[in-house]
Structure 1
C-alpha cells in the first residue's frame, strides 16, 4: 500500500504541475483518494477488460470536449510535469503520442481523436502491446511521436529496480 500511495503521489503531482484538466478513473468499487487534484473529475472505469476501459476513458474525455487527451497509469516512478507537457506538445503537432515502457508496453498514450483499434484484441500485459500499437497507428495512417522509454512498476522485479535506483 505504501508503494501504491507513493506512485499515486508522484503521478498526481505531475498532473497538477501541468495545469491541464484531469479526469481520473478508478477501479470498480474504489473510493476517491485524497490527493492534490481539487479540480479533477472522478469516474469509475467501465468495461470488461483493460482495452475497453481505456477506450471508454478516452471517449468520455472526447465527449467532454477535450481535443488532446493523455491516458497515464499511476505506476511510473519517473512521471513529472515536463514529461506530460512534452506529450501535449507532441499532440499539438501529431495525431498520437506514445510513452514506451521498457517492458514492451507503454506508460502513456495520447490521442487527438478516438482510435478504437488501439484497444480491441490487444494482448494486454505482454511485451507485444507497444509494437502492435505502432502497427495499428501506422495502418490507420496516423502520425505519432514518442517520448523516452521508461520503466513502469508492474511486478516485483520492477519494484526492486526502482528501489535500487534510490539507494
Structure 2
C-alpha cells in the first residue's frame, strides 16, 4: 500500500496549521514554502479540507487558513478520509458495493486483508495533530504503537 501525494501533502499542510493553531491564520504560500509543495496543488488540497469542515479561511490582508477545531480533535484518519476516501486495500473489502471478487466466499486471505485495513485505520485514528505538534515541539521521533 502506498500513500498518494494527496494524503502526504495534505497531512503536512494540516500539520503546519496545527503548529500555528491559536497564533492566527497561515497563508498557503507560507505552508507551501516551508513544506516544498506547489501552491496550486496545496490550494486544491486545502479546498477539499475546507469543504469537509477541517479548515476555515480567514479573509483580509492578514488572512489565510486555520484549523476548524483544536488539533487534539483532528486525527490523521479524518484527513486521510477526505483526501483518499476509505481505507480499502482490496476491492473485495469495499462495503459500499464498489467492487467484489468471484472468490470472496472461499478466500482464505480475506481476513488478512481485513486485518490490514483495520490496522491502518487504527494507526491513523490513534494519532491526532496535537500528538504531532507535541512531537515537533519536543524534537522526538514519532513512535505510536498499535
- TM-score of the superposition, structure 2-length normalised? 0.29
Higher RCO (C-alpha under 8 Å, 6+ residues apart) = 2
Greater percentage in strand? 1
Structure with greater Cα Rg: 2
Greater percentage in helix? 2
